[in-house]
Amino acid sequence: MKNLFDTLFLHRKHFALFYRSTVLIIALYLQVPVSLMAQTATAPAGVGTVADPFQIATLNNLYWLSQTSTAWDKNFIQTADIGRF
């Protein structure tokens, strides 16, 4: 027969496991909307020449560049600090 200490310790152990699982689920739930936000490819200013390079100023411009393989051999310049968050 278990004594009171063993019973309380088991309940505390299960509660800690439940608490950690709940915190993890909430953290993942809050991250999902951020990761599912779709990017919009927006063509940057410029034409890609040495005299008028593509001007990458936003995350959408950078996404456009990553999706437009015909622009990869062109000239471009980053004109702003592009931060995801």
- Measured distance CA(29)–CA(35) in Å, rounded: 10
Q: Give the three-state DSSP class for 45.
A: strand
Check residue 82 and give its pLDDT: 84
Residue 44 burial by CB count (10 A; 0-12/13-18/19+): exposed, middle or buried?
buried
Q: How far is CA 9 from CA 3, 5, 21, in A?
A: 10, 6, 18
pLDDT, block means (10 residues), the chain with 85 residues: 57 58 62 59 93 93 90 92 73
**Residue pointed to by tokens 């940057």:** 44
* Distance linking the first and last C-alpha atoms of the chain: 55
CA-wise closest residue to 72 among 64, 81, 80: 64
Check residue 36 and give its pLDDT: 47
Check residue 70 and give its pLDDT: 92
- pTM value is 0.54
